[in-house]
């Protein structure tokens, strides 16, 4: 797949936050990133994520990277 094609990575922050009774703003504060940056990730508009950010999100939510992000199968 060429790099310029849309990605198939899906973010599951909505579900994880709901399960934990946490807001995006609270997660952003705990992780140390802006709400805007997490919103871009949550809404599947991110083109990249720093491993340090992903690690911090996983630490705060008590989960693994595969809980946060999955790859949709090709059609």
Q: What is the pLDDT of residues 10-47, one digit of tens each?
A: 999 999 999 999 999 999 999 999 999 999 999 999 99
Determine, yes or no, domain membership for 75.
no
Determine, yes or no, domain membership for 21.
yes
Q: Comparing 21 with 3, which gets the higher pLDDT?
A: 21
> What are the backbone angles phi and psi of residue 31, rounded to the nearest 5°?
-85, -30
Q: In total, how many domains does the chain have?
A: 1
Determine, yes or no, domain membership for 1.
no
Determine, yes or no, domain membership for 33.
yes
Which tokens in the block code for residue 69?
Answer: 């992000």
Put simply, whether the predicted model's pTM sits higher than 0.75 gets the answer: yes
What contacts 3, CB < 8 A, 6 or more positions away?
none
CATH number where 54 lies: 1.10.260.40
Range of the domain at 41: 9-67
Determine, yes or no, domain membership for 72.
no
Determine, yes or no, domain membership for 35.
yes
Determine, yes or no, domain membership for 74.
no
């Amino acid at each position: 797949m060429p790099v310029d094609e849309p990605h198939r990575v899906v973010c599951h922050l909505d579900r994880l936050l709901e399960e934990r009774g946490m807001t995006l703003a609270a997660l952003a504060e705990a992780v140390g990133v802006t709400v805007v940056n997490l919103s871009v990730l949550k809404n599947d508009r991110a083109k990249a994520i720093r491993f340090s950010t992903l690690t911090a999100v996983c630490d705060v939510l008590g989960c693994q990277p595969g809980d946060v992000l999955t790859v949709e199968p090709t059609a």
